[in-house]
Amino acid sequence: MSLFYAIVGEDVPDSLEKRLAARPQHLERLKALQSEGRLLLAGPFPTIDSPDPGPAGFSGSLIVAAFTDLAAARAWADADPYVAAGVYRRVSVNPFKKVLP
């Protein structure tokens, strides 16, 4: 049985260049979760109050996806290309209970 987990990555300052370089590999992993029917939602946090923050960039990301357990969710998060590229300064993984919709 799979449960949902919330993965929150917090960016290092001035992460935009690193983010853009690693984005294709990051999106590839998210699309794999989506094709497996495991991705609930994913997206970045714009640094400013705008859907397109331009050079202001992003302050982090949220991914909510299904995994067999917390260890599997953490392992997946640890292998994210944004981690390897130094985009994230910290990543938290927590169980998530979807209530609505």
| pLDDT (tens place) for every residue of the chain, 101 residues total | 789 999 999 999 999 999 999 999 999 999 999 999 999 999 999 999 998 999 999 999 999 999 999 999 999 999 999 999 999 999 999 999 999 98
pTM (2 d.p.): 0.95
- Asked if 4 and 97 count as a contact pair (C-beta separation under 8 A), the reply is yes
Give me 57's structure tokens: 């960039």
Q: H or E stretch including 70?
A: helix 70-78
